[in-house]
Amino acid sequence: MGERVLAFMAHPDDAEFLCAGTLALLHERGYEVHIATMTAGDGGSTELPPEEIARIRLGEAERSAALLNGKYYCAGLKDFLVTVNDTSIKRTVELVRQVDPIIVFAHHPGDYMLDHEMSSILVRHACFCAGAPNMKTDLFPSAKPIGRIPYLYYCMPIEGIDHFGNEAPMSIFVNITSVMELKERMLKCHESQRQWLLKHHGIDEYIERMRHWAMQVGRKVGAEFAECFIQHRGHAFPKDNILVKLLNGLAIEVQQ
């Protein structure tokens, strides 16, 4: 079995908006792709009840991950209620242990909504403590503790701005032009979200909006389309930039 990468986000379709191009490039290089979400997207409809829209969105997420021969997981939390507590920590740790990834992608800590911000904290914490044998998840049987702290990258927040509306400084840029069509196909799997985004966010043609954001990022580094990240390099986390190494020629780090 090859090395694994994990995109662990709040909701179905978040990974497709934020890092699916980079996941596709890593898949081309032989890495197993795993996508997880905290919730099943049960709040993502103005018409369907939570159980029905969750069922639909779980299927959409599985179809999207399958385009990269990947696996999809859900931690079973609820939309708008993702918080840091015993249950959410244990479920997040358990999923990180199940995948045992070398690289993890998470939401930016200052993204626009609480579910995203709390997911970022939960994933960061799980990456740190998933290797601790005394961190028990109360699941039987539970996954074994992992033997490393993964490389952790935060994705660009939606629109490239933090929750104050200021531009979020990003330092790692990945040219995804060669896999942009695949990124679009993955996002199109989440077709239930077009009406939700139109009615709640005022965003129509969500594919075009995603392309617009990727073009804006690309202009900063002379690419047609790009995704961008910032690496978590706090104490005990890996400090070298594995993305630049693995995606030689397609990923660069810009000094802030």
Give pLDDT tens digits for 51-85: 999 999 999 999 999 999 999 999 999 999 999 99
Q: What is the pLDDT of residue 53?
A: 95
pTM for this model (two decimals): 0.95
Q: Which region among 77-81, 99-103, 192-196 has the lowest average model confidence (pLDDT)?
A: 192-196
Residue 34 reports pLDDT greater than 90: yes
> 């104490």: which residue's tokens?
235
Band of the pLDDT at 98, cuts 50, 70, 90? very high
Fill in the amino acid letter for 75: A
What span, in angstroms and rounded, lies between the C-alpha atoms of 23 and 15? 9
Q: What single letter denotes the amino acid at residue 128?
A: F
Confidence of residue 198 (pLDDT cuts 50, 70, 90): low
Burial 171-204 (b: 16+ CB within 10 A, else e): ebbbbbeebbebbbbbbbbbebbeebbeeeeebe
Burial 220-232 (b: 16+ CB within 10 A, else e): eeebebbbbbbbb
Average pLDDT, the chain: 94
pLDDT at residue 39 greater than cutoff 70: yes
Peptide bond before 238: cis, by omega within 30 degrees of 0?
Answer: no
The pLDDT of residue 101:
98
Look at residue 201 and tell me whether its pLDDT is greater than 70. no
* Cα 103 to Cα 150: distance, rounded to the nearest angstrom: 5
Mean pLDDT value across residues 172-189: 97
**Non-local CB neighbours of 34 within 8 Å, separated by 6+ positions:** 4, 5, 6, 7, 65, 70, 71, 72, 73, 99, 101
CB 180 within 8 A of CB 187: no
In the DSSP assignment, the letter for residue 197 is I
The predicted structure's pLDDT at residue 236: 97
Top-tier CATH class for 4-253: alpha beta
**pLDDT tens-digit readout, 106-139:** 999 999 999 999 999 999 999 999 999 999 999 8
Tracing tokens 């029905």 back to the chain, one arrives at 52
From 84-88, 203-207, 228-232, the region with the lowest mean pLDDT: 203-207
> What does the pLDDT average to over 136-163?
95
Residue type, 150: P
pLDDT tier at 206 (50, 70, 90 boundaries)? Answer: confident
Taking CA 176 as the corner, what is the angle to CA 10 and CA 183, rounded to the nearest 5 degrees? 50
* Angle formed at CA 161 by CA 239 and CA 115, multiple of 5 degrees: 80
Q: How far apart are CA 255 and CA 10, in angstroms?
A: 29
Q: Which of the two residues, 241 and 209, has the higher pLDDT score?
A: 241
> What are the sequence ranges of the domains in the chain?
4-253
Supply the pLDDT for residue 60. 96
